[in-house]
Amino acid sequence: MEAIVLQILNGLDKGSAYALIALGLTLIFGTLGVVNFAHGALFMIGAFCAVTLSKILTLSHVVIDATKKDFLGNPLKVEVPYIYDFVGENAGNVIIDWAVPLSILFAIPIMVLIGFIMERGLIKHFYKRPHADQILVTFGLAIVMQEVIKYFYGANPIPTPAPEAFKGSLDFGAMLGFEANSIIYPYWRLVYFSFAAVIIGGVFAFLQFTTFGMVVRAGMADRETVGLLGINIDKRFTIMFGLAAAVAGLAGVMYTPINSPNYHMGMDFLVLSFVVVVVGGMGSLSGAVLAGFLLGILESFASMTAVLETLPGINQIIIYLVAIIVLLTRPRGLMGKAGVMEE
Amino acid sequence: MSIIKPTRRGLLRTSAVAGAGLAMPTIFTGSASAYMNEPTGSSVTLGFNVPQSGPYADEGADELRAYELAVEHLNGGGDGGMMNTFSSKELKGNGILGKKVEYVTGDTQTKADAARASAKSMIEKDGAIMITGGSSSGVAVAVQALCQEAGIIFMAGLTHSNDTTGKDKKANGFRHFFNSYMSGAALAPVLANAYGKDRKAYHLTADYNWGYTTEEAVRESTEAMGWETVNAVKTPLTQTDFSSYIAPVLQSDADVLVLNHYGGNMINSLTNAVQFGLRDKLVNGKNFEIIVPLYSRLMARGAGENVKGIFGSTNWHWSLQDEGSKAFVKSFGEKYGFPPSQAAHTTYCQTLLYADAAERAGTFNPCGIAEALEGFEFDGLGNGKTLYRAEDHQCFKDVLVVKGKENPTSEFDILEVVEVTPVSQVTYDANIPQMGGPEATLGDCNPGA
């Protein structure tokens, strides 16, 4: 029983990341009709926004400490962050400690800007081209983005810890009346899950309850008619691309304390996110979210020791297995609508 | 009088015989050189095959720095580094056997096929006389087999799997780096001391060659001193989030988690384990502990604060205070501005050891070099007295047991050496099952050509 609760919890944070990325993918696909293979790279860039902000906050000048020696026996060069000079050491440390949450503010404008540049500069020219062309160009773009990040930040993962307040884990089991330590769950993963829920709720509310969202939804249903009504739907779709980029970026920012980011983390999520979109149903936002959590939880279950003992290797194929079953029984995915990508 | 009538058949037969006669001399004299890529000019070319792209690129870059430093020293540049402390005094700073040392580099991408392709190209196109490098056991085993076929010496870089000098050992291949068996043998007594003999261990193991041999080695040596292994789970090499593997650990009644992971796997699994608060838990009345059998400082940096207090083993560390280590850290540090990694150290040593063997053998012939390295005892290269064992071409030397430092003073000061395990404690018989048993043999040295 404990094991099952535990794996559901585990699946939730993994599912949150899948759902956030798949949500962005579906938004772009539903509005612009583009299959964006660079979406994983946007997630990665988001994570590196957090890395960049912590680097900026810890930007230092060198003070020679003659009392200590470095590895060559020369006087030790101590790096003192500039932020100490502005706000003092204690406040400086607090700001550095909270670098990851602060990066949310830092990442939003950057991600929206990158989204705009991507859409206007490159993807726009591929609207009328076949999906295969779109996949090739966005995949190429993803590789370029990866290599740029690797050039500046190196190939090794860069530790980007959560604020001190969120270190450690919550003993969920004790709260539910199980034995102590039977179900533990890190605080930051709870934060991640709640954050994802807020973002997903926000995107849905935006599309459902604002005039802008209504126009976008109308455009998704029938782009031509909305255009004929004199609405500049392209401009709105560009904004949606920026929004999708920001969602992926924020998912990346908040993911950094869970796993130290490196340049190819986007690719790790990209393929799975596409499976999520397909299982959820191409073009269905709620399908993407549902499938994201579903596959995240299933993946966690498949890694349970008891399951692995009966079905060795199931953990590596479970997602694809489910995808095959769903597509065989419901060819449009869980919540797919007729007519999407079927022409 | 008979007239010999020329016929078509006869003509063909005659020309075939004549042709064979003409070809004969070249068949017997065609290979004027006695071995593959024999250097004929005033220089000799070494092939450095390291990951320059992909996830181990940073480690590969450090290996390359060390190779360049070794070449500089061999050619008489710089301060000579460990050439001054090396017990063998054959190297004079005038290249190898009087020939200037040049080098070419290849990118292994940490993929066996890419590594073989780049090694092949360096051997065939650039005429490399020796191939060295690699930052993964899969790559090292593949390239070693290629060098064996080509008749080239392979001086392995960072490869820790038992198989490199065990099941897959080759007469043309040599390894200075230590291996899984040695890590297990060195760690076990230290762990028994620190955590007691009554422990229940849970292993998470990377699902590939190196992971298996490391798990086997650590299990055998910890079980021998009384630990119980409650579970061992294989994790996919591509796994990035280990939470679903870590979460069940506490339910298993285990009080020690052994992470047989390297590189990105190690960084992520350790980070996840610490995140789950494993180290703050009390199980069976004991503090829960985590162990990382193979530490790399470059990798430990990626895990940040999570490595604090965690035991592991390493081949070499820049804080060692013997003359060799000090000389190496000085020349490397002055050239590049930071201390060398264990990967840099082993590749620098391998280059000097190759050059020295060539000097002592008086030839670049792989068989001569292999003979010079087999059973060679040396000192002054940072690991104390070391033996290149003839039976399996594995170096035997002291092993360092290290621990993540509690109060690091700089970004390089991540590990502290807690014990130098003497070589006698990590020496094993070349025919033990972990090393492939008696069926695994070196074969014969191949000079190529």
Residue in B240, B247, B283 nearest the CB of A7: B247
| pLDDT band, residue B12 (cuts 50/70/90) | low
What's the gap in Å between the CA of A174 and the closest CA on chain B? Answer: 13
Q: Which residues of chain A lie closer than 8 angstroms to B241, CB-CB?
A: 14, 258-259
> B340 near B66, Cβ under 8 Å?
yes
Phi, psi of A169 (to 5 degrees): -140, 160
Q: Which residues of chain B lie closer than 8 angstroms to A185, CB-CB?
A: 276
Higher pLDDT, B202 or B2: B202
A318 CB within 8 Å of a chain B CB: no
Would you identify the CATH topology of the domain B181-314?
Rossmann fold (3.40.50)
Q: Which of B114, B142, B144 is nearest to B131 (CA)?
A: B144
What 3-state class would DSSP assign to A110?
helix
Residue in B268, B277, B334 nearest the CB of A72: B334
Q: Count of A–B CB contacts within 8 Å?
A: 124
Domain extents in chain B: 43-178+318-397, 181-314
B43-178+318-397, which class in CATH?
alpha beta
pLDDT over 60 at B316, yes or no? yes
A295 CB within 8 Å of a chain B CB: no
Using the beta-carbon criterion (under 8 Å), do A168 and B280 form an inter-chain contact? Answer: yes
Q: Which residues of chain B lie closer than 8 angstroms to A265, CB-CB?
A: 240
Q: Which residue of B has its CA nearest to A183?
A: B247
**Summary mean pLDDT of chain A:** 88
Q: What is the pLDDT of residues B351-381, one digit of tens each?
A: 999 999 999 999 999 999 999 999 999 999 9
What's the gap in Å between the CA of A185 and the closest CA on chain B? Answer: 6
Q: The tokens of B254 are what?
A: 């285990």
Tell me the longest C-alpha to C-alpha distance in chain A: 76
Exposure string for A60-94, b = 16+ CB within 10 A, e = fewer:
eeeeeeeeeebbeeeebeeeebebbeeeeeeebee
Using the beta-carbon criterion (under 8 Å), do A184 and B247 form an inter-chain contact? Answer: yes
| C-alpha Rg value of chain A to the nearest Å | 22
A16 CB within 8 Å of a chain B CB: no
| pLDDT band, residue B425 (cuts 50/70/90) | very high
Residue B125 class from Cβ within 10 Å (0-12 exposed, 13-18 middle, 19+ buried)? exposed
Q: Which residue has the tokens 């909270």?
A: A98
Using the beta-carbon criterion (under 8 Å), do B250 and A189 form an inter-chain contact? Answer: no
Residue in A184, A188, A315 nearest the CB of B250: A184
Residue in B271, B281, B334 nearest the CB of A181: B281
Dist. CA A120–CA A128, nearest whole Å: 14
ipTM: 0.79
Q: Backbone dihedral region of A73: left (phi > 0), alpha (psi from -120 to 50 degrees) or beta? A: left
Q: The tokens of B145 are what?
A: 């087999």
End-to-end Cα, chain A, rounded Å: 47
Q: Residue B14's pLDDT is what?
A: 54
pLDDT over 90 at A184, yes or no? no
Dist. CA B301–CA B267, nearest whole Å: 9
- Within 13 Å, how many C-alpha atoms sit on residue B434's CB side? 23
- Helix, strand, coil share of chain B (percent; to 5): 45, 20, 40
**Summary mean pLDDT of chain B:** 90
What 3-state class would DSSP assign to B260?
strand
Q: Which residues of chain A lie closer than 8 angstroms to B296, CB-CB?
A: none
Residue in B244, B277, B334 nearest the CB of A7: B244
Mean pLDDT, to the nearest integer, of A44-70? 89
Q: Which residue of A has its CA nearest to B230?
A: A305
End-to-end Cα, chain B, rounded Å: 53
Q: The tokens of B385 are what?
A: 């007295």
Strands A184-186 and A169-171: antiparallel
Q: Which of B371, B31, B33, B359 is nearest to B172 (CA)?
A: B371
Using the beta-carbon criterion (under 8 Å), do A265 and B252 form an inter-chain contact? Answer: no
| pLDDT band, residue A8 (cuts 50/70/90) | confident
Using the beta-carbon criterion (under 8 Å), do A182 and B251 form an inter-chain contact? Answer: yes
Using the beta-carbon criterion (under 8 Å), do A150 and B280 form an inter-chain contact? Answer: no
Dist. CA A45–CA A108, nearest whole Å: 11
Mean pLDDT, to the nearest integer, of A324-334? 90
What is the dihedral angle through the alpha carbons of B231, B236, B241, B245, rounded to the nearest 10 degrees? -20
Using the beta-carbon criterion (under 8 Å), do A181 and B243 form an inter-chain contact? Answer: no
Q: Residue B413's pLDDT is what?
A: 86
Q: Which of B124, B38, B335, B118 is nearest to B132 (CA)?
A: B118
pLDDT over 90 at B22, yes or no? no
Q: Which of B249, B246, B260, B256 is nearest to B196 (CA)?
A: B256
When mean pLDDT is compared across A138-142, A242-246, B10-14, B355-359, the lowest value belongs to B10-14
Mean pLDDT, to the nearest integer, of B91-98? 94
What 3-state class would DSSP assign to B198?
coil
Q: Residue B236's pLDDT is what?
A: 85
DSSP per residue over B382-393, as a string?
SSSSEEE-TTT-
Domain extents in chain A: 2-329
Using the beta-carbon criterion (under 8 Å), do B409 and A68 form an inter-chain contact? Answer: yes
Dist. CA A16–CA A111, nearest whole Å: 19
What's the gap in Å between the CA of B241 and the closest CA on chain A? Answer: 7
Higher pLDDT, B216 or B303: B216
> A298 near A40, Cβ under 8 Å?
no
Q: Residue A14's pLDDT is what?
A: 84
Q: Which residues of chain B lie closer than 8 angstroms to A188, CB-CB?
A: 275
Q: Which residue has the tokens 């930040």?
A: A153
Residue in B241, B301, B412 nearest the CB of A258: B241
Mean pLDDT, to the nearest integer, of B416-426? 95
Q: Residue B125's pLDDT is what?
A: 95
A6 CB within 8 Å of a chain B CB: yes
> B420 near B400, Cβ under 8 Å?
yes
Higher pLDDT, A156 or B1: A156
Residue in B241, B302, B333 nearest the CB of A72: B333
Q: What is the pLDDT of residues B141-193, one digit of tens each?
A: 999 999 999 999 999 999 999 999 999 999 999 999 999 999 999 999 999 99
Q: What is the pLDDT of residues B25-71, one digit of tens each?
A: 444 444 457 899 999 899 999 999 999 877 788 889 999 999 999 99
Q: The tokens of B111 are what?
A: 């993929």
Using the beta-carbon criterion (under 8 Å), do A6 and B305 form an inter-chain contact? Answer: no
What 3-state class would DSSP assign to A303?
coil
Q: Which residues of chain B lie closer than 8 angstroms to A157, CB-CB?
A: 264, 267-268, 302
Q: The tokens of A54 are what?
A: 């912590």
